[in-house]
Amino acid sequence: MIMQIIYRYDGSFPGFLCCVAQCFFDKSLPAGIEPLDEPQATLFPLREVETDPALAARLERSITGRISRQAWGMVQQGFLTCMEEKEMRLLRFILLGYKVGPQVVRLSTNRDVHAMDKALLYLKNEAHYHVEFLRFTDYGEFLGAVITPNNTVLPLIAPHFCERFNTENFMIYEKTHQMGFLHQRGGRREFFQADSIQFPELLQEEKGFRALWRAYYETAAVEGRVNPKLRRGHMPMRYWPNMTEFQKD
Amino acid sequence: MNLMEKLEILTDAAKYDVACTSSGVNRPGMPGKLGNAVKAGICHSFAADGRCISLLKVLMSNDCAFDCSYCVNRVSQDVKRASFTPEELCRLTIEFYRRNYIEGLFLSSAVVKNPDYTCELMLQTLRMLREKENFWGYVHVKAIPGADPVLTEKLGFYADRMSVNIELPSQKSLKLLAPQKSKEKILAPMGQIRDGIKENATDIVRYKAAPRFVPAGQSTQMIIGATPESDWQILNLTEGLYKKYSLKRVFFSAYMPVVEHRNLPAKTTPPPLLREHRLYQADWLLRFYGFEAREILDDDHPDFDPALDPKCNWAVHHMECFPIEVNRAPYEMLLRVPGIGVKSAMRIRSARRCAQLDFDGLKKLGVVLKRARYFITCKGKSISPLPMDNPAVIAGAIRERGFSQTPIGAPEQLSLFDPTPRDKVQCLTGQI
Ligand code: SF4
C-alpha cells in the first residue's frame, strides 16, 4: 500500500535509515523521501523523520543479519550515488531483500536492483576517474584539491590518497556535495562539511610546476596521431575544468 | 638552459616510445615513504593523441654518441641537445607525483659518451629518488645495451619494470640502420634481466626481505614500418620473445618518419597505424586466446588482411571447424569464435552448467551475435542468415564496414583500448 505522504529527513545516511524504520512502523510505503534542504515542490503532506543513531544502528544489524553483508554494502554505497529517486529505490531494495533474502543482490531483472547496479557502476567508475584525474595544488602548508563529481566519491577515494600521500598534509573538497576531507601527516584524518572553501593565493613555485606540467602535457602528444574522440572517451570533458593541464593561472 | 626548455626537449625526444603503463606490481604504501603502486596501473591524463599519460616519460639526455639513422637524436643530426642532472629529474618526479599528475617515472636515455657513463647517470637519479627522497611509486627504466651487466643489475633493484628495445624486427635492419647496435648487444641485457627476475623469485621465497628485482617484469618494443619485414616475421619474433625472455609485453610503434634517409621511407609516408593495430590484435590472440603465431600468419599469407581482424581471418579460413554448438564446445573453441571474447567465453562456460543457452541468453552474456552467428549453433539451431559453406561470403559479411573510408588514425582503430564501462579499471592500460 502506498501512503499519500512524503518523508523528509536530514539528508544523512542514519537519517535515511530512520526513514526505512519509519516505513516499517507505518506498514506502508511513503510516496517519496526527500532531504530537508530540497525545495518543497509537492502537494502531499510531509512528515519529518527524526534521526536517531541508535535506531539506525539497529537497522544496520537487521539488514546485515537478515539479508546479507553484501546487500548492506550496496545500500551504503547506493546512498552515495546520484541515482534518481535514490531513497525510494534503496527503500524498495531493502524491502525486497527482506522478502527474498541474500539473493536480492543478484536479481538484476528487477527494476530497482537493475537501477542500483547501474548507479553503483557509475559511482565506481567516477571514483576511479578521480583517482586518475584529481589534481593537487601545493599551498605551502598543505596540498589542496577541488572536485565536482556527480556521485559522492570522496569516501571511496580518500583511503587511496591517505595511503599514497601519507607523508603529506592534504585536503580534498568535494564542491558538489559541500563536503571535505582532511589528512594530516602522521595520521589524523576527518571528513567535514563546508559551504565553500577559500584557498590561498598560488605560490610562485607552484606556478612554476604547473607551467612545467602543462608543457609536459602539450609536448607528450604525437602530432601525427591527434585523436580528440579517443581522448574524450578516456577522459570525459566534464572533469577537465578541475585539471591543472587545462587551467590557466 | 632552463628546466622548462630541457623538459620540452627531453619529453619530445621520448614520446615516440609507446609503453607508458604503470602496471604489474602491487606495492602498498609505507609510512614515511611517498607513494605506492597498484597492479592494474593508473592513468593520470590522456594526451591530445588519446594515449594515456601515466608516467613522466623523458630521456635523461638526448646528447647521443650513436648514429641510428631512424632516430632524431643521432649524433649526425642537427638538433638542440639537453641533459637533466639527476637532481633536476628527481625534483620533477617528486613534485609531479605529489600533485597526482603521474604514477612515477619512465626513464630512458640516449647514449651520453658511452653506455656505462649513461647508465651511471640513470643510476644516480634512481638512487636519489628511492633512497634520499623515499620515493615509493612506480619506476620503469630502460636498460642501455652494451652497458656493464653490473650496472644493469643495480638499475633493476631500483626499478619496477625494465625494458630493452629490440628496435627493429631483424638483425639485417639493425645493421643497416643502427650500426652501433646488434642483436647480441640487445638480447644480452634482456637475458640478464630474465635470469635476474628468476633468481630473485627464489631468493624471495627463501628470505622475505630480499630486495625486489624488476617486480613488474620486462617489456620491449619495436618500430614497425621503417624496414621491410613482413607481419609474419614480426609476429614470429614477438612470439619468440614471449617464450624465450618471459616478457610481460611487446609493444609496437608505427614508424613516424622524422628524418630523411636513403634507407628509410620518405618523410611524407604516413605512419602505418592500421598495421600497428592489427599487430596488437594478433598479440592479444597470442597472450589471451591460445593462438600460435603460425596459425595467424604463415609464409603464404605473410601480411594481415587490412579489412579483417586476425581472429575473423582465422575463422573464415577454418570454416571446417564451424559451426560449433555453444552448449557443448570446449572453452578453447569458444575463444576462437569471432564475437566471443575472453570474458564472454568464461561467462558461457559457467552459465551453461546451470541451463541450456539460447541466442537471447548469449546476448546477455556479452556475445556480439552480429559476428558470432556465422560460427555457432544454440541447441542445434543456427541463426546465420547466410549459407556457411562459402568462406568468401562470410568474410564479406564480417568485414569491417566502411573501412576504406576510415582515415588512418580514426578512433575505431584503437578500439582495443576503448573502455567499456565494465572493463574500465582493468583495461585502461591496455593490459589485463
Ligand atoms: S642510441 Fe640510437 S636510437 Fe638511441 S638515442 Fe642514440 S641514435 Fe637514437
pLDDT along chain B (432 residues), means of 10: 95 81 87 93 93 94 91 89 97 98 96 95 97 95 92 94 89 87 88 91 77 89 90 93 91 83 85 89 92 92 90 90 92 93 89 84 86 90 83 81 41 32 30 25
Residue B12 pLDDT: 92
Q: Is the pLDDT of residue A225 over 90?
A: no
Helix axes B86-98, B115-127, angle to 10 degrees: 40
Residue B105, Cβ neighbours under 10 Å: how many?
28
Q: Is B426 helix (H, G, I), strand (E, B) or coil?
A: helix
Closest listed residue to residue B41, CA positions, set B204, B217, B201, B286: B217
Q: Whose CA is nearest to atom 4 of ligand 1?
A: B110
CB contact under 8 A, A211 and B48: no
Final residue belonging to a domain, choices A124, A149, A170: A124
Q: Are residues B266 and B327 in the same domain?
A: no
Number of domains in chain A: 2
Q: Is B26 on the interface with A (CB under 8 A)?
A: no
Pair B102, B67: CB distance under 8 Å: no
Pair B83, B144: CB distance under 8 Å: no
> What is the pTM for the complete model shown?
0.84
**What is the residue-wise DSSP string for B5-60?**
HHHHHHHHTTTT-------S--B---TTSB--B-TT----EE-TTS-EE-EEEEES
Q: Are residues A200 and A222 in the same domain?
A: yes
Start-to-end CA span in chain B (Å): 42
Closest CB to A132: pick one of B12, B42, B409: B42
Q: Are residues B201 and B52 in the same domain?
A: yes
Residue B260 vs residue A196, higher pLDDT: A196
Residue B350 phi/psi, 5-degree rounding, is: -80, -35
Mutate to test the pocket of ligand 1, among B9, B69, B73, B121 (most ligand atoms within 8 A of CB): B73
Gyration radius from chain B CA atoms: 23
Closest ligand 1 atom to residue B13 Cα is 5
Number of domains in chain B: 2
Start-to-end CA span in chain A (Å): 58
Q: Are residues A168 and A116 in the same domain?
A: no
Residue B408 pLDDT: 37
Closest CB to B92: pick one of A128, A161, A212: A212
Residue A16 vs residue B388, higher pLDDT: A16
Residue B93 lies in a domain: yes
Final residue belonging to a domain, choices A76, A101, A124: A124
Q: Is B281 helix (H, G, I), strand (E, B) or coil?
A: helix
Q: How far is A195 from chain B (nearest CA, A)?
A: 24
| Burial of residue A217 (number of CB atoms within 10 Å: 0-12, 13-18, 19+) | buried
- Rounded Cα–Cα distance for residues B339 and B311 (Å): 9
Closest ligand 1 atom to residue B65 Cα is 6
- Rounded Cα–Cα distance for residues A123 and B424 (Å): 13
Helix/strand/coil percent split, chain B, to 5: 40, 10, 50
Taking residues A169-198, what's their average pLDDT? Answer: 94
Q: Is A106 on the interface with B (CB under 8 A)?
A: no
- Rounded Cα–Cα distance for residues A177 and A8 (Å): 18
- Rounded Cα–Cα distance for residues A3 and A32 (Å): 9
Q: Are residues A10 and A120 in the same domain?
A: yes
- Rounded Cα–Cα distance for residues B172 and B161 (Å): 28
Q: Are residues B118 and B34 in the same domain?
A: yes
- Rounded Cα–Cα distance for residues B414 and B49 (Å): 11
Residue B257 lies in a domain: yes
| C-alpha cell belonging to residue B169 | 624486427
Q: Are residues A79 and A151 in the same domain?
A: no
Q: Are residues B113 and B185 in the same domain?
A: yes
Residue A8 phi/psi, 5-degree rounding, is: -125, 135
Q: Is the pLDDT of residue A173 over 90?
A: yes
Q: Which of residues 134-163 of A touch B (CB under 8 A)?
A: 134-138, 143, 145, 161, 163
Q: With helix as H, strand as E and coil as C, how does chain A read?
A: CECCCEEEECCCHHHHHHHHHHHHHHCCECCEEEECCCCCCCCCCEEECCCCHHHHHHHHHHHHHHCCHHHHHHHHHHCCCCCCCHHHHHHHHHHHHHHHHHHHHHCCCCHHHHHHHHHHHHHHHHHHHHHHHCCCEECCCCEEEEECCCCCCHHHHHHHHHHHCCCCCEEEEEHHHCEEEEECCCCCEEEEECCCCCCCCCCHHHHHHHHHHHHHHHHHCCHHHCCHHHHHHHCCHHHHHHCHHHCCC
Closest listed residue to residue A145, CA positions, set A164, A169, A126, A171: A171
Closest CB to B50: pick one of A135, A231, A245: A231
> Kind of pairing, strands B376-377 and A6-9?
unpaired
Question: What is the distance, to the nearest Å, from the Cα of residue A218 to the centroid of all Cα atoms in its chain?
Answer: 32
Residue A1 lies in a domain: no
**Contacts of residue B173, Cβ cutoff 8 Å, sequence gap at least 6:** B226, B227, B228, B229
Whole-angstrom CA distances from A138 to B96, B295, B318 are 11, 55, 60
Closest CB to A227: pick one of B16, B50, B100: B50
| C-alpha cell belonging to residue B364 | 546477455
Question: Which tens digits make up the pLDDT trace of A78-109?
Answer: 999 999 999 999 999 999 999 999 999 888 77
Is the preceding peptide bond at A200 cis, omega within 30 degrees of 0?
no
B34 vs A contacts (CB less than 8 Å): 164-165, 167-168
Helix axes A111-133, A86-100, angle to 10 degrees: 120
Residue B393 pLDDT: 83
Closest listed residue to residue B99, CA positions, set A104, A184, A245: A245
**Contacts of residue B105, Cβ cutoff 8 Å, sequence gap at least 6:** B55, B56, B89, B93, B129, B137, B138, B139, B140
Q: Are residues A15 and A115 in the same domain?
A: yes
Q: Are residues A212 and A137 in the same domain?
A: yes
Closest ligand 1 atom to residue B75 Cα is 7
Pair B166, B241: CB distance under 8 Å: yes
Q: Are residues B341 and B251 in the same domain?
A: no
Dist. CA A5 → ligand 1 center (Å):
75
Q: Which of residues 266-295 of B touch A (CB under 8 A)?
A: 270-271, 273
A243 vs B contacts (CB less than 8 Å): 45
Please report where in the chains the cell 624465450 appears, as a residue.
B244
Closest ligand 1 atom to residue B64 Cα is 6
Final residue belonging to a domain, choices A103, A124, A145: A124
CB of B68 closer than 6 angstroms to any ligand 1 atom: yes
Q: Are residues A150 and A100 in the same domain?
A: no
Pair B398, B312: CB distance under 8 Å: yes
Residue B298 lies in a domain: no
Which ipTM was obtained for this model?
Answer: 0.93
> Kind of pairing, strands B138-142 and B161-163?
parallel
Q: How far is A177 from chain B (nearest CA, A)?
A: 22
Dist. CA B65 → ligand 1 center (Å):
8
CB contact under 8 A, B34 and A211: no
Dist. CA B234 → ligand 1 center (Å):
21
For B377, the enclosing helix (H) or strand (E) is strand B376-377
- Rounded Cα–Cα distance for residues B201 and B215 (Å): 9
Taking residues A154-175, what's their average pLDDT? Answer: 96
B33 vs A contacts (CB less than 8 Å): 166-167
Residue B71 lies in a domain: yes
Q: Are residues A68 and A100 in the same domain?
A: yes
CB of B337 closer than 6 angstroms to any ligand 1 atom: no
Beta bridge partners of A183: A170, A189
**Residue A159 sits in which domain range?**
133-246
Residue A36 lies in a domain: yes
**Contacts of residue A166, Cβ cutoff 8 Å, sequence gap at least 6:** A185, B29, B30, B31, B32, B33
Residue A170 phi/psi, 5-degree rounding, is: -145, 160
- Rounded Cα–Cα distance for residues B413 and B168 (Å): 23
Q: Which CB contacts under 8 angstroms, 24+ apart, belong to A188-197?
A: A189/A158, A189/A162, A191/A154, A191/A155, A191/A158, A197/A146, A197/A173
CB of B71 closer than 6 angstroms to any ligand 1 atom: yes
Helix axes A204-220, B86-98, angle to 10 degrees: 100
Query: From A215, which residue of chain B is nearest by alpha-carbon distance?
Result: B8
Q: Is the pLDDT of residue A65 over 90?
A: yes
pLDDT tier at A201, thresholds 50, 70, 90: very high
Residue B45 lies in a domain: yes
Please provide the average confidence, as pLDDT, over all residues in chain A: 93
- Interface mutation vs chain A, best among B9, B17, B46, B94, most A CBs within 10 Å: B46
Q: Are residues B20 and B159 in the same domain?
A: yes
Beta bridge partners of B37: B27
| C-alpha cell belonging to residue B86 | 639527476
Q: Are residues B316 and B264 in the same domain?
A: no
Q: Are residues A91 and A151 in the same domain?
A: no
Residue B21 vs residue A235, higher pLDDT: A235
Q: Which CB contacts under 8 angstroms, 24+ apart, belong to A111-116?
A: A115/A83, A115/A89, A116/A74, A116/A78, A116/A83, A116/A89, A116/A90
Helices and strands counted in chain B (H then E): 16, 10
**Residue B329 sits in which domain range?**
310-398
Q: Which of residues 394-423 of B touch A (CB under 8 A)?
A: 409-411, 414, 418-419, 421-422
Residue A39, Cβ neighbours under 10 Å: how many?
6
Q: Are residues A118 and A139 in the same domain?
A: no
Residue B303 lies in a domain: no
